[in-house]
Amino acid sequence: MNINDAESAPVILWRRVDQHGHESARVDHVGEGWRLTGTAVFADDAGPCCLSYRIECDAAWRTVRTRVTGWIGQRTVDVEIAVAADGVWRMNGVEVPQVAGCVDVDLNFSPSTNLLPIRRLNLAVGERADVRAAWLRFPSLALEPLQQTYIRTGERAYRYESAGGAFVRDLTVDEAGFPTRYPDFWEREGD
C-alpha cells in the first residue's frame, strides 16, 4: 500500500469491546504533511457520545493542530489545539504550559493516535522509545502530559506503556500503523 496515494489512503473501523461503540479513522498525505481524521460513537456514563477529530501533522508526524468536535451526553464539545514551532501548546487559544515540548497529541477516547508515534518513531523490532504526549483526557477534556513508552516487539506488534508502567497493552497494528487490536478496549472490524 502506498500511503501517499489518495486512492489507497488507509482507513479502519474499530469496535469497542468494553462498551457499545465504534470508531472509524483515515490518514491522508496532505501537502507536506499528514492528516488523521475520524469519528468515535460510543456509550458513556454521561450518555451517548459522538466525537469527530482532525489531527494535522508535519512531514515528520509531529502534531501541529488538532480539532475535536461533537458531544458527550448533553455537553457540546469544540476543542481546538495548536502547537507552535517552539513547542508551546494552546487549547482554545489558552497556553497549556504543562504540555510544552510534547510532540504527539493523544486522544484518550481513541486508539487512532497511537499511529502518530508509531509512524514518527519508525522503530526497528526490539527498539524502544519514551515519548511525552499531550493527552486529551476523556471525559474532562483536560490537556495533560502523559509519559509513554513504545517497544516494537514484532513486525506488526508493539508494547505500549503509560503512567509509569501502570497501564500496559500489547498492540497489534496494520501496515499503516493503526492498532488492529487494543486489548480490553478496541478491535478492528472487517478487513
Digit-coded pLDDT (tens) for 170-184: 999 999 999 999 999
Determine, yes or no, domain membership for 89: yes
Determine, yes or no, domain membership for 75: yes
Determine, yes or no, domain membership for 103: yes
First to last CA, the chain: 14
Q: Which domain holds residue 169?
A: 6-188
Quote the pLDDT of residue 2: 41
Q: How confident is the model at residue 144 (pLDDT cuts 50, 70, 90)?
A: very high
Beta bridge pairs of residue 170: 159
Q: What percent of the chain has pLDDT over 70?
A: 96
Cα–Cα dist 58/55, whole Å: 10
Tally of domains in the chain: 1
User: Of all residues in the chain, what percent are helix, strand and coil, respectively (each to 5)?
Assistant: 10, 55, 35
The three cell numbers of residue 82 are 495548536
Q: What percent of the chain has pLDDT over 90?
A: 94
Quote the pLDDT of residue 191: 66
Determine, yes or no, domain membership for 102: yes
pLDDT at 159 > cutoff 80 = yes
Q: Please tell me the pTM assigned to this model.
A: 0.94
Determine, yes or no, domain membership for 1: no
Determine, yes or no, domain membership for 38: yes
Contact in structure between 10 and 176 (CB atoms under 8 Å): yes
Determine, yes or no, domain membership for 168: yes
pLDDT at 92 > cutoff 60 = yes
Interior angle at CA 170, CA 38 and CA 182, nearest 5: 30
Quote the pLDDT of residue 190: 84
CA dihedral 47, 53, 70, 48 (to 10 degrees): -20
Q: State mean pLDDT over 97-108.
A: 97
